[in-house]
């Protein structure tokens, strides 16, 4: 059984052969512009004084473990629909992974200049 019009001429209209589909116009905003606007709006909603965990670390506000905690909080921010116990378990596993997994702890070391320490309990 064959498929019609594959390899045959005549299936393309003049508008699409000119490189422009019907109703398509110039792009008004690039993805980077839209992303910058959304990021700026999100930062504005957080407050003008909000800074990244790395900036807070460099300013001496937090230590490397505080940086790990801030990154875990940032990573789990979209999971607000979960119960507090489930969310706590996920955060615990993420913290442990960032501190014990060689590749993740190396990424933390590259970002902060020191390795994260497992908290003494």
pTM of the model: 0.53
DSSP 79: G
* CB neighbours of residue 93 within 10 Å: 11
Averaged pLDDT for residues 10-31: 57
Tens digits of per-residue pLDDT, 4-17?
A: 666 666 555 555 55
Report the percentage of the chain scoring pLDDT > 70. Answer: 63
Is 50 exceeded by the pLDDT of residue 48? no
Our measurement of the distance from residue 99's CA atom to the centroid of its chain's CA atoms, rounded to an integer in Å, reads 20
Averaged pLDDT for residues 42-58: 68
* CB neighbours of residue 51 within 10 Å: 14
């Amino acid at each position: 059984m064959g498929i019609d019009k594959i390899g045959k001429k005549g299936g393309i209209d003049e508008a699409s052969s000119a490189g422009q589909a019907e109703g398509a116009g110039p792009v008004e905003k690039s993805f980077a512009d839209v992303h910058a606007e959304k990021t700026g709006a999100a930062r504005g909603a957080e407050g003008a004084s909000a800074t990244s965990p790395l900036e807070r670390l460099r300013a001496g506000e937090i230590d490397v473990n505080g940086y790990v905690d801030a990154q875990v909080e940032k990573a789990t921010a979209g999971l607000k629909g979960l119960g507090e116990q489930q969310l706590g378990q996920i955060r615990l596993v993420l913290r442990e992974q960032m501190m014990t997994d060689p590749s993740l702890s190396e990424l933390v070391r590259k970002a902060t200049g020191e390795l994260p320490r497992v908290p003494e309990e």
